[in-house]
Structure 1
């Protein structure tokens, strides 16, 4: 097997997106388009990946990191000109070079692998990835000779009316013999409607030299979609969302309404988990088996155990154990660790808190910057008062504590093991284990107060 290289074209600004964000950094199902491409190329046996950057170069490099090398295209003078910028890294090397655009987030590693395989088996100098579509407007057309071999590729703007009737299009993904590619690039001209150096012209030059040029047609046009504006971005989002949801359903996850369920690419979900409509599961979330998520829940970067239920709630960047019941309308904020068999009820907010096994906060509470032990009951309306306007402080609630309703635990404070806090208390000092703490004003009843008030009127 020959050496393999890849060039990813990601230099364009994407003016049709009408955005301050550079085109290839627009996300599809939570991941920038160019990251999708790099991830799929990374699944191939590629020795060296060079990404061509231009507009937003530093932001693209920040996103992709050391997954590839970079070459700068200072002026965007066409796709052939972009590929030329990789010459210092690749020119003169033996092997096969894959060229792919960074705005094709739906392309699969399997398709690129099949393209490379055919290219190498036929010992071609170039192989074009093609597809057919009923509406080829805007795409370069693949012109074949009588034998069915690729004769040339003509851009839409340069095509005749007859050529524009052709349904087979150039997807913008190619394989080349690497040495031949960089030799031929020297001969590409910009004598066309746009005054640019087109990469498809390499095909025509190779044909004139008598070299073998082939085409590999994918049966899935959607996979080759290039995103140039917000309409295409939404289309790519819809296609990838469907692909992701089908993947999970085929692996034993029940998604009640796939059209209204949003799951990002890196999410993992266990068998027999049920996802209800309106739910968004994002980032690197990991959800166990036999869970129930939703409806209308938002999960991001969370690790969730088995048999856990999360209804109409938000959870970010947290660990949630097994047999946990959350919601409805709860908010699990970042850096929380919810242990097994916990109940977090309606309108409860947890932030940067360890919540011990079997503990409960059933309704209307805020627990922030706290360590809650096992088998703790936190009554309705109770809060940890963790912020003095400058600094955050820790509240420790040890095992077996019962906190009565509408209590304020003013941090830093520790409630000892098996202690009781009377309802309505404002606790400002540590409570010893096994103690009952009452911190509220004595009740005073003023008899006949209303009657006297009326007399005074």
Structure 2
């Protein structure tokens, strides 16, 4: 890879009318995250000094989403979509004074690999275009190569019959010297069938100026662009297949690989076991040796070594499970830390809570964390025992080794080693059940 500093430009301004959606194309999700996040993640592997995202259609929504993934990225607006050259021109002022190499990626092209980007940067040519040999070239732009490298790029609508017969096609991805790129983009005209400013025109402009231009090729699958719902579905299939294969290669056991769904940033350690029909949303880390049983949904959480989750459990953002924690069926954990050895068997909700080590949470326990306006925390000490059907009305603290009686509503702190019972006293009414049922049946018969 080149030792030069790197800047990244991601074009994300298109409307994507063929998606038949009010949502900007780059915000449609692939692998649990917006499309642009894939290009951003690949580009980030180059350790760029600057990242510029060019927005257009739905700019406010795209900008908001970008800020979640990369708060330092600079966002510029392409108010009119006048072509890729015009889009890059909007980004270049943000790189004023930058000396290094610029890589131009596309927010709707999610599969460009880190290895391919490294090859682009390491190539000695001053302008490098990423190409691919297409099985069916269709309406892709063609790369015309001669003895001195890449001679020109011809858009399909402007190509001759001989040029349309070429199978080496343009991906749109370009890398080049920042200063030279800025000079070339300013020279691009719009004398073409679409009346647009094509970034591809920099090839002939560079050659006319005596600069070296060349091609790096990659597999066609890396250049897959998303323009329709069908293509998005096909891309999801491809992404999941690659993610499953990578997990298996890394030593993860997938009981039924085809039913497990990954997100772009899912991290799973070796010897972890993942059951069938498990869905990973963004932000999940599973440590080595943990087990996720079937039919679980996890997002924004961390599961430590030796922990077991499920079946039918849900871990929401902020869930932190320590070593050897057990979370059973129909349990939901949100923004809560469960220390080592905690057991939450079933039918429980823990939100905004901290649970001390080796504590047992009985079935049907709920941390009542929301008062209609604000969220409040529940803190339970180590080795506590929470009886089944306990309602913990936050904010509340339960001491170490404390207990709650089943069916209790806990509204006050419980000291260490204490037993708290918060339920109405039971009263038995002899014979009342029979008399009540007889009265009800009689009423029904009379009707």
Q: TM-score, normalised by structure 2?
A: 0.85
Deviation of residue 315 (structure 1)? Answer: 1.2
Aligned to 2:172, what secondary structure does the other structure show? strand
Contact map agreement 1:337 1:353 (CA 8 A) in 2: yes
CA distance in 1, matches of 2:438, 2:103: 89
Please identify the structure whose Cα radius of gyration is greater.
Answer: 1
**2:427 corresponds to 1:442:** yes
1:349-401 deviation line (CA, Å, top 9, x unaligned) = 22222223222234333243433333333343x13163xxxxxx334333334
Residue 365 of structure 1 corresponds to 365
RMSD: 2.9
Aligned to 1:173, what secondary structure does the other structure show? strand
Contact map agreement 1:302 1:318 (CA 8 A) in 2: yes
Deviation of residue 323 (structure 1)? Answer: 1.2
Query: Cα 1:2–1:367, aligned 2, differ >3 Å: closer, same or farther?
Result: closer
**2:206 corresponds to 1:206:** yes
Deviation of residue 41 (structure 1)? Answer: 1.9
Residue 253 of structure 1 corresponds to 252
Aligned to 2:103, what secondary structure does the other structure show? strand
1:236-291 deviation line (CA, Å, top 9, x unaligned) = 32323333333333322212222221222223222211011111122222222211
CA distance in 2, matches of 1:372, 1:183: 64
Contact map agreement 2:276 2:293 (CA 8 A) in 1: yes
Residue 236 of structure 1 corresponds to 235
1:26-68 deviation line (CA, Å, top 9, x unaligned) = 2321222223322322222534333322223333333334433
1:7-40 deviation line (CA, Å, top 9, x unaligned) = 2222222222222222222232122222332232
1:387-434 deviation line (CA, Å, top 9, x unaligned) = xxxxxx3343333344444x13142x234444446xxx643xxxxxxx
Deviation of residue 91 (structure 1)? Answer: 6.4
CA distance in 2, matches of 1:353, 1:46: 39
Farther off after superposition, 360-369 or 131-140: 360-369
Contact map agreement 1:52 1:71 (CA 8 A) in 2: yes
Farther off after superposition, 78-87 or 311-320: 78-87
**2:115 corresponds to 1:110:** yes
CA distance in 2, matches of 1:398, 1:440: 24
Of 29, 44, 58, which residue of structure 2 is paired with 1:56?
Answer: 58
CA distance in 2, matches of 1:326, 1:214: 56
Query: Cα 1:320–1:208, aligned 2, differ >3 Å: closer, same or farther?
Result: same
CA distance in 2, matches of 1:35, 1:131: 23
Residue 159 of structure 1 corresponds to 159
Query: Cα 1:193–1:257, aligned 2, differ >3 Å: closer, same or farther?
Result: farther
Residue 77 of structure 1 corresponds to 82
1:313-359 deviation line (CA, Å, top 9, x unaligned) = 10112121211221122222x22222222221222222222223222
Residue 356 of structure 2 corresponds to 356
CA distance in 2, matches of 1:248, 1:197: 43
Aligned to 2:11, what secondary structure does the other structure show? strand
Aligned to 1:103, what secondary structure does the other structure show? coil
**2:102 corresponds to 1:97:** yes
Contact map agreement 1:348 1:363 (CA 8 A) in 2: yes
Q: How does 1:368-447 map to 2 (within 5 A)?
A: 368-369=368-369, 370-380=378-388, 382-384=389-391, 386=393, 393-405=394-406, 407-411=407-411, 413-420=412-419, 426-427=422-423, 439-446=424-431
Say how many residue pairs are matched. Answer: 426
Q: TM-score, normalised by structure 1?
A: 0.83
Aligned to 1:203, what secondary structure does the other structure show? helix
Q: How does 1:12-31 map to 2 (within 5 A)?
A: 12-31=14-33
Farther off after superposition, 369-378 or 4-13: 369-378
Q: Which residues of structure 1 form unaligned runs of 5+?
A: 387-392, 428-438
Contact map agreement 1:127 1:216 (CA 8 A) in 2: yes
Query: Cα 1:162–1:446, aligned 2, differ >3 Å: closer, same or farther?
Result: same
Query: Cα 1:440–1:108, aligned 2, differ >3 Å: closer, same or farther?
Result: same
Contact map agreement 2:142 2:155 (CA 8 A) in 1: yes
Deviation of residue 302 (structure 1)? Answer: 1.4
Residue 263 of structure 1 corresponds to 262
Residue 224 of structure 1 corresponds to 223
Farther off after superposition, 444-453 or 18-27: 444-453
Contact map agreement 2:390 2:405 (CA 8 A) in 1: no
Contact map agreement 1:128 1:174 (CA 8 A) in 2: yes
Deviation of residue 297 (structure 1)? Answer: 0.5
1:295-325 deviation line (CA, Å, top 9, x unaligned) = 1101111122221111121011212121122
Query: Cα 1:70–1:371, aligned 2, differ >3 Å: closer, same or farther?
Result: closer
Residue 289 of structure 2 corresponds to 290
Deviation of residue 77 (structure 1)? Answer: 0.6
CA distance in 2, matches of 1:262, 1:129: 30
